[in-house]
Amino acid sequence: MTTHVLADTGVLTGRSLRHILRSPDTIVTTAVTPIALMLLFVYVLGGAIDIGSDQSYIDYLLPGILLITIASGIAYTAYRLFLDLQGGIFERFQSMPIARSSVLWAHVLTSLVANVASVAIVVGVALLMGFRTGASLGAWLAVLAILVLFTLALTWLAVIAGLSATTVDGASAFSYPLIFLPFISSAFVPTDSMPGPVAWFAENQPVTSVVNTVRALFAEQPVGSEIWVALGWLVGILAAAYAAAIALYRRKIS
């Protein structure tokens, strides 16, 4: 049974990836906005922002930009899922001897591959802009693992949006708040520079703990308790979103 599910998921993931390869502008478009923000903040606003350390602003900024990249990319998952649902693809799959869960997992894995590619593009541009890190291979792998977990958590939220939307615009619009969430976090400025209520929200929302963890790993500093807060948020969101998406999917195809 497990082999059957894995094989079906592999075939359907290949189908979704071929769609992306035919229009690679999806990945490029996903990376354009974060790169534009990075250029704006580093070269226009960076000189006026006090981050309270000797760290270069591009080094400080990059973790938040990576999360914005992923939040931008998952909108396409909701969009593609909605089109499949409206186009009757799900009904065709139901008439075939394939595992039902493989349909959703194919979209999720496609999102993961596409977002990793977009993140790689953004990191490459950041290196050209002066980003430097002495992080070890283990630290880089830890950063990758956190970004993968962040992508999976947001992608399952995108699955919910794609299954429940009634229009194409509605399927992708849900990602807008997620894109702007890093702006009210420690991604661009330290939270202690914000007014009291805003600072409280910034310090207690998931993006801040994820940003602080990735930033500490890149800077070769102790991550402290931040990593456990980040993992708690991400695992909790992933579990809740997965359960809700599966329940909604079963109602859709029943």
Per-residue pLDDT at 66 exceeds 80: yes
Every domain of the chain and the residues it spans: 2-253
The single residue listed with the structure tokens 């939270």 is 191
Q: What's residue 25's pLDDT?
A: 62
What average pLDDT score do residues 62-70 get? Answer: 94
Torsion of Cα atoms, 45 then 47 then 48 then 49, to 10°:
90
The pTM (predicted TM-score) of the whole model is 0.88
Contact between 204 and 186 (Cβ < 8 Å): no
Q: Check residue 90 and give its pLDDT.
A: 57
Between 137-164 and 57-86, two packed helices, what is the crossing angle to 10 degrees? 30
pLDDT in tens, 183-193: 999 989 888 88
HSE at residue 53, side-chain half, CA atoms within 13 A, is 12
Phi-psi region of 125 (alpha: psi -120 to 50; beta: other; left: phi over 0): alpha
Q: Taking phi first (over 0 means left), then psi (-120 to 50 degrees means alpha), and beta for anything else, what does residue 130 get?
A: left
Is the pLDDT at 1 greater than 50? The verdict is: no
**Digit-coded pLDDT (tens) for 165-181:** 777 777 777 778 888 88
pLDDT in tens, 83-124: 767 666 655 555 555 556 677 888 888 888 889 989 999 999
Phi, psi of 188, rounded to the nearest 5 degrees: -110, -35
pLDDT reading at 5 higher than 80:
no
* pLDDT recorded at residue 132: 92
Exposure string of 180-195, with b = 16+ CB inside 10 Å and e = fewer, is: ebbebbbbbbebeebe
Answer whether residue 141 shows pLDDT above 50: yes
Q: Which two tokens stand for residue 140?
A: 């880089």
Reduced to 3 states (helix: H, G, I; strand: E, B; else coil), residue 50 is coil
